[in-house]
Structure 1
């Protein structure tokens, strides 16, 4: 890796991390076909499905195809975050609104002692994971750099076509990256620069939001890469 002339400022480091992750992801997604894109490796997967065929109560999307989403809850992996919110002065009511759950559920989480039970999270398809990233970055851009008025879950028209999804996805990703590249130090430190509704972004300086967006991109792309490896191992010789 070349280091001469490399940026060491906060934004430069985050952009370099994002660019490297994007480059690796594009290589790993090359050749993705429709069947693999929609492959459900185990029963009970979440995916994208035709409207009316969704397997979950809160599936969403503006068009014929919607993305599975279950009932709102606070996963065990986020109990510590809820505790931090409460310690930082957020009311139980505000935390409940932030997570889309009842006040009673928040009180249950705050009263929990010991190690939380592992989450029973569903396995999701490549289509679901790409769709999740797609609406996350589309919504993040709208509520940071855009008009801040469009419902994030209505911004992405999900599709069963892997090629079409990737074409639309990279357009959104590159728009996000270009907008981030123009940020000033003052904007990085601005609390509430992002007003993204499905998060607590508005409570943090944008540099933290940006770091979290990088993490979201990296960890979902790693999951997609593993699913591609499993598909190739299982079906590569016969397809």
Structure 2
């Protein structure tokens, strides 16, 4: 299928954002931004779960229960992501690298399924990895799944309200091209946050 012209720059932006985030997480090299490759230490478990501020929301062992101001650990399995029913705590808690990466991977996995898959996956059934290597692999798989969903969209799909039936966003009210744009900004801004957290971890006081 020929890609709609409107989708091409959005897909290129998405690919760039995902590639850059994965290289920042796993290395071994990343583009510094000016064409110079710099070495990257792969994300480790201590850094993945590092809490740089009091009262962080993070990914936690289910047996340990939710963190401060959280009321539940979202997902299934031995690990879950701190969460709370709406209205969320204000001011919002600082979220760890693990929380942000899990949020991205869950969102991409579920949106892909509700666009081109079984349309049955839920937050309650999503399994969040408790280790860095598993989390990076989960993001790589999730980002690839959403990319495949994008490749299935034609011009009519881009203008269809509810083409994605993802239940945790505005998908039921928005045309699909707006959802594509929204997912891009999620990857871009959370990717930038994750990169900054890596910088802060590297520069932290020993």
Distance 1:216 1:200, change over 3 A: same
Kindly report structure 1 stretches of 4+ aligned residues shifted beyond 6 Å. Answer: none
1:184 to 149, 154, 177: 154
SS at match of 1:141: helix
Which structure would you say has the larger Rg? 1
Partner residue, 1:218 = 188
Partner residue, 1:99 = none
2:134 to 164, 189, 208: 164
1:48 to 37, 59, 75: 59
Count of matched residue positions in the alignment of Structure 1 and Structure 2 = 186
Q: CA deviation at 1:160?
A: 2.0
Whether 1:204 aligns to 2:174 is: yes
Q: In structure 2, what is the Cα distance between the partners aligned to 1:59 and 1:138? A: 18
Q: Which runs of 5+ in 2 are unaligned?
A: 27-41
Partner residue, 1:29 = 25
Q: In structure 1, what is the Cα distance between the partners aligned to 2:186 and 2:162? A: 19
> Do 2:115 and 2:149's aligned partners in 1 also have CA atoms closer than 8 Å?
no
Distance 1:74 1:128, change over 3 A: closer
Q: Which runs of 5+ in 1 are unaligned?
A: 1-6, 76-118
Q: CA deviation at 1:196?
A: 0.9
Partner residue, 1:98 = none
Q: In structure 1, what is the Cα distance between the partners aligned to 2:163 and 2:176? A: 6
2:10 to 14, 19, 25: 14
RMSD (CA atoms)? 1.8
Partner residue, 2:100 = 129
SS at match of 2:164: coil
TM-score between both structures, scaled by the size of structure 1? 0.73
